[in-house]
Amino acid sequence: MQLKLISSLVALFFPILLFAQSVTTIHEKTLSFIETLEDGQENELMIEFTDSVRTEWTNLPLGLAPRAGLQYGLLSAKSKIAFHQVLSSILSSQGYLKTFAIMQVDDILHELFEIKYERGEVNENAIKMIRGLNWDYGNYFLAISGNPRTDEKWGLKFEGHHISLNLTVSGDEFSMTPLFLGSDPAVVEDTQYAGLRPLSKEEDYGFWFVNSLDEEQKKKATLSGDVPGDIITSPGRPQWLEKYQGIKGSELSENQQQILHYLIEEYAANLDHLKAEEYLAKLHARGMDEVYFAWIGSYEPMKPHYYIIHSPDFLIEYDNVGFLDNANHIHSIFREKGNDFGEDILRKHRLAHQH
């Protein structure tokens, strides 16, 4: 009897202890990073927790959307090493490597258009406009909201072209959404990096799932209309969708549910193991029957397509159209209902500290 009680208590409190340890690690890595900064850089890095910058996001390049905070490219080698430690504490190895592959692709994108310019495929006006977009590995910005040295509530934003990573900490809890990842090109077709695909599984598993559906299921899953030019919950638009569309998980076979689970897991698993397990535990608690999947566009790669995965707890969007309309330009986002920018954990903090 006593042994059962001890086992129950361990099962109850072990996840809480693990999350507390996870926040402790993130906190320690962040403080270590701050200590490496050069004169004046901490002032650029730190913003008020109440600053609207904390809850705003964009995936646009620097030339179209200037950022607040400290520019990654201006960090010393020592600071970059310390910042990589921060990111590897909040992202899994796959999420960490995707993030820096996307940054690398920004350099490649710049190089690809310079090659096209040299070949005469892009004119003078076009290359001038493209250069003004400031695609560059170093043109990403980090901002810390609040003061992790003294505050229970603080956040970290790392953002630039095709990346918006948003960490919110409240006591022993943390949120990691919205998490936006994109890639242009989705597959590099020239230079020594030809073949590189930072978001390969997001695309491949999407096609694997939709093409596992029979004709009747495809009809139910496929929405009419043109492929959206961007994700629907992009900046400046409603950040959550209330209406469920497409095919419901309960209408899928066991094998189809498993493929859809692989796709969902690909997004959740970009985060550190404990946070990914938290999201997947919520999914398993409700079951795959409650998940909706909708598709727009072609069932073949390299043609415009879009999908959305929608459950009561999370939202995933993926869009592959691109401004050249060549289906080689991915935008994707993972969102937690009610907890983007830590909304839910901050609410719990306020309730716990009411007097």
Output the pLDDT for position 236: 78
- Please report whether residue 83 resides in a domain: yes
- Average pLDDT in the 28-47 region? 98
Is pLDDT at 90 greater than 50 in this prediction?
yes
Indicate if 6 and 147 belong to the same structural domain: yes
* Residues 34, 66 within the same domain: yes
Query: Is residue 170 located within the same domain as residue 214?
Result: no
Q: Are residues 153 and 9 in the same domain?
A: yes
The verdict on 240 and 328 lying in the same domain is: yes
Instruction: State the distance between the two ends of the chain, measured CA to CA, in whole angstroms.
Output: 40
Cα 89 to chain centroid distance, Å, stands at 15
Question: Contact, 125 vs 132, CB < 8 A?
Answer: no
Residue 111 lies in a domain: yes
92-136 per-position pLDDT tens digit? 999 999 999 999 999 999 999 999 999 999 999 999 999 999 999
* Per-residue pLDDT at 354: 62
pLDDT digit string (tens) for 71-81? Answer: 999 999 999 99
pLDDT of 2 reads 53
The tokens describing 25, both together, are: 């690690």
Nearest to 235, CA basis, from 68, 67, 58? 58
- Judged by DSSP in three states, 272 sits in coil
Q: Is the pLDDT of residue 5 over 60?
A: no
Q: What sign does the CA torsion over 285, 307, 293, 308 have?
A: positive
Give the integer Cα–Cα distance in Å for 95 and 202.
Answer: 12
Q: Could you give the CA distance from residue 352 to residue 181 in angstroms, rounded to a whole number?
A: 34
pLDDT digits (tens, 9 = 90+) for 153-204: 999 999 999 999 999 999 999 999 999 999 999 999 999 999 999 999 999 9
Tell me if 229 is assigned to some domain: yes
Tokens of residue 27, six digits: 């906190």
Mean pLDDT of the chain: 92
In this structure, are 215 and 165 located in the same domain? no
Residue 1 has pLDDT above 60, yes or no: no
Same domain, 37 and 171: yes
pLDDT of residue 166: 98
Domain containing 41: what range? 2-177
Claim to verify: residue 160 and residue 81 sit in the same structural domain: yes
The whole-number average pLDDT for the span 15-42 is 86
Predicted pLDDT of residue 9: 44
Q: Is residue 346 in a domain?
A: no
Q: How long, in residues, is the chain?
A: 355
d(CA 258, CA 255): 5
Is 279 inside any structural domain?
yes
pLDDT at 243 over 70: yes
pTM recorded for the entire structure: 0.92
Tell me what pLDDT residue 7 has: 42
Q: Are residues 228 and 163 in the same domain?
A: no
Inside any domain, residue 343: no
| 144 plus 205 within the same structural domain | no
Domain-located, residue 71: yes
Write out pLDDT tens, residues 212-230.
Answer: 999 999 999 999 889 999 9
Give the percent of the chain with pLDDT over 70.
Answer: 92
Output the pLDDT for position 353: 66
Q: pLDDT at position 10, please?
A: 43
Does residue 281 carry a pLDDT above 70?
Answer: yes
Is residue 182 a part of any domain in this protein? Answer: no
What's the CA gap between 174 and 3, in Å, rounded?
32
Specify which of 22-26, 48-52, 338-342 reaches the highest per-range mean pLDDT: 48-52
- Residues 130 and 213 both lie in one domain: no
User: Do 134 and 26 belong together in one domain?
Assistant: yes
Structural domains in the chain (count): 2
pLDDT of the residue at 326: 81
